[in-house]
Amino acid sequence: MQETKKVISVLGELICLCTNSTDTNPLTREGIPIRAHQDILREQHVRTVVTLLIFNISPLADHRCLDASFEAHLLKTRRGDG
């Protein structure tokens, strides 16, 4: 349960990092996208990392989704091939 709270907190911080707004609540936040921050996160494959975090902490996640083809896709993405 503690890991879930940490992941939710990080996701909220990422939302706030990527938008320009005075609203500090990531669930209600609306604002202008900060493209430079979004680009950096995309280049660092943060979406993939977050997906893996969610799969690893969720007791309901079907870990069979992380099959060999998905792992191969991750490796290609990390190398810049995909």
> What is the Cα Rg of the chain in Å?
15
What percentage of the chain exceeds 90 in pLDDT? 39
Average pLDDT over residues 55-59: 69
Residue 14 has pLDDT above 90, yes or no: yes
28-49 per-position pLDDT tens digit: 999 999 999 999 999 998 888 8
Where do the domains of the chain lie? Answer: 2-79
Dist. CA 59–CA 63, nearest whole Å: 10
CA dihedral 74, 75, 77, 81 (to 10 degrees): -140
Helical residues (DSSP H) of the chain, grouped into ranges: 2-17, 35-43, 46-57, 68-79
